[in-house]
Structure 1
């Protein structure tokens, strides 16, 4: 009961500041897979300087992010995060500090570490799936037999109360989204989330792109069909992407323009294996070293430059708490009309709907469910 109450109080304390923030942490640039649409692939030769996060400094970095940026969610990524020898300890560190840990993995190394991750406090875990056919998925990953390892891991994790979500990149490997939804459900996933295809190089040192992959070199018509397919998957399995997010991507593709802007640099950040803190993976220079970060260095300029789903979709959920924070700021300055306008934004309903779709995850952060 005490931890539940403290979690709720912590979240309420962040409301006047626009709510909690999120940080993606790439703990290593190493990967054991050979995905055609990703330049972290170990057979492509892009990773020439192999690096992993110095785990001995992670607690201090997270404490700074929690204090200076209001970070309460951290997503461990790579490369392949399970290749980091101290990954379980870092997950435990986040949990002990009141920051909810999640992870994105290809699943190959997951079965023997599933219980340890659950013990350390993982409540949500994302596993990459590329196709509805296991042979197609395993060929793209270069990991023969990984689907059975994923099936074993999802069973273990679900038994421990961990929500396991299939993380799917929209590519030409998916001709039928309904078949894909049925496949991931059969593998034991409880939901699915879609990553939007990326061909152009990212500005940061992240290599989650491939300029020469035909799998992501998709036409506008193909992309619209993919977003329609992702929406149709909801009839079989819950889709993590907010409806408003998929609608915004269609609006972008058809030239209508998105309704929502990105909060990366303000409520969402990317930290690399060098402890450099970036606005996001698409930005061309870090904000600063995490050790030098202060709230004055936050960035907020209504960016719509890219379609990176983790930032854009999360920004839709963040829109409502940010609006509340804006209203508080206006009231502190004696501007009640401006405060009312902040809360009268028509986009707030879409944001509330997105938040409702992630209610269980938010309640776990608060310690109430």
Structure 2
């Protein structure tokens, strides 16, 4: 038996043991830097905000990564700020994480390196960038797209011409086996600049339809959506440790608007699954809608602070997530995972980074820890388990969103508008 196959069997056994303990494979988000060069109004780390900028540094981050590997973490994300301002370091740290045995490594960019596509040497510059990233084990690289109106996106980011550069860069990356992901952080301008006081379901449905068509036409084959990251004005600087949140009205949606927003996203996703690998799980949206309709018991609490954690660049300490900034857990190396097994029944934010995977893992963890509660939930909400199973089958058709694999047009073609594959309904 080959070494690679043996390693895979060993890791599968470790994952099985994790589930038997009522836990899920760990996910760690490391904010490597809060330095940024964009002007996004929806983010507290925008370049115009005046605060002391920090970067963890290579050696400190290696200590965290080595500890994550020892603790059995399976997924690692490098976020910012703008991670590509420290591109060489992020590449080196990704290789180190791979050497330590962490399989799922992600990072992202605001796309600033894709600006200036009209200048001489642009293609050569992008090829060098793609070659550098192709030499790493980074599995997924997201590129922020704030609006399906390119002018609005570029004005919000302060990056003129970046969309044309992204469009030119995508095939060059694909030639090197890297399929970039379009990442929408939902804001009131995501379908074009809006001055309306209240947005309704028809607007959101048309907006998501336009967004998915737009990023597919640009050349993306993977798309993700981050739910609104808005904080109350009095909490914006004191609660969330991850400053990608803001009290700016551009990310504010009322309770009624959120119901319409999440419903529209839920309804729109199946219409584009044949063309795009859409990361957003409908089972999670379904549960989030239950919560907003006052049926919190028909949703799952977040695994943040149980299996998922966030490391802040400013102090290098660990937090349950980027939102719960008042809960400083100290250095990651000193974190006692066993003490986190109980966790909190937390649904305080909508942030998809931990909420979506928590919902996807919920049936497996509940089967081990609270089987009667799971059975009661499934009796009251059988639609959840249908959507959950559908999501898992769709994820498989998408190669589990492996950004180092081309999309399978034959597998995606099987998905009907209703969201179920032809084989399952014929």
TM range (shorter): 0.7 to 0.9
Cα distance in 2, alignment partners of residues 301 and 64 from structure 1 = 23
Aligned to 1:121: 137
- Number of residue pairs matched by the alignment: 351
TM superposition score normalised by structure 1:
0.86
Cα distance in 2, alignment partners of residues 71 and 152 from structure 1 = 36
Which sections of structure 1, spanning at least 5 residues, go unmatched? 328-337
> After the TM superposition, which residues 191-206 of structure 1 pair with which residues of structure 2 at under 5 Å, given as runs?
191-200=222-231, 201=236, 203-206=239-242
Correspondence 1:209 to 2:245: yes
Which sections of structure 2, spanning at least 5 residues, go unmatched? 115-125, 192-206, 379-383, 408-426
> How far 1:229 moved relative to its partner?
3.3
Aligned to 2:36: 31
Match of 1:52 among 34, 52, 55: 55
Larger relative CO (CA 8 A, sep 6+): 1 or 2? 1
> After the TM superposition, which residues 1-369 of structure 1 pair with which residues of structure 2 at under 5 Å, given as runs?
1-18=2-19, 19-45=24-50, 48-68=51-71, 70-84=72-86, 85-99=88-102, 100-109=104-113, 111=126, 112-175=128-191, 176-200=207-231, 201=236, 203-211=239-247, 213-231=248-266, 232-236=268-272, 237-257=276-296, 258-273=298-313, 274-283=315-324, 284-298=326-340, 300-323=343-366, 326=368, 341=372, 346=378, 350-359=387-396
Residue deviations 1:78-97, cap 9 Å, x none?
01111125111011112222
Residue deviations 1:280-327, cap 9 Å, x none?
011122222112112233251221111111110011222244346x36
CA contact (8 A) 1:115 1:156 kept: no
CA contact (8 A) 1:27 1:52 kept: yes
CA contact (8 A) 2:32 2:79 kept: yes
Worse-superposed segment, 97-106 or 344-353: 344-353
CA contact (8 A) 2:299 2:359 kept: no
Cα distance in 1, alignment partners of residues 82 and 321 from structure 2 = 19
Cα distance in 1, alignment partners of residues 6 and 390 from structure 2 = 25
TM superposition score normalised by structure 2:
0.75
Cα distance in 2, alignment partners of residues 219 and 58 from structure 1 = 39
Cα distance in 2, alignment partners of residues 320 and 95 from structure 1 = 29
> How far 1:15 moved relative to its partner?
1.7
Cα distance in 2, alignment partners of residues 226 and 141 from structure 1 = 23
Cα distance in 2, alignment partners of residues 90 and 124 from structure 1 = 15
User: Which secondary structure does the structure 1 equivalent of 2:112 belong to?
Assistant: coil
> How far 1:208 moved relative to its partner?
1.0
CA contact (8 A) 1:24 1:271 kept: yes
> How far 1:263 moved relative to its partner?
0.7
User: Which secondary structure does the structure 2 equivalent of 1:208 belong to?
Assistant: coil
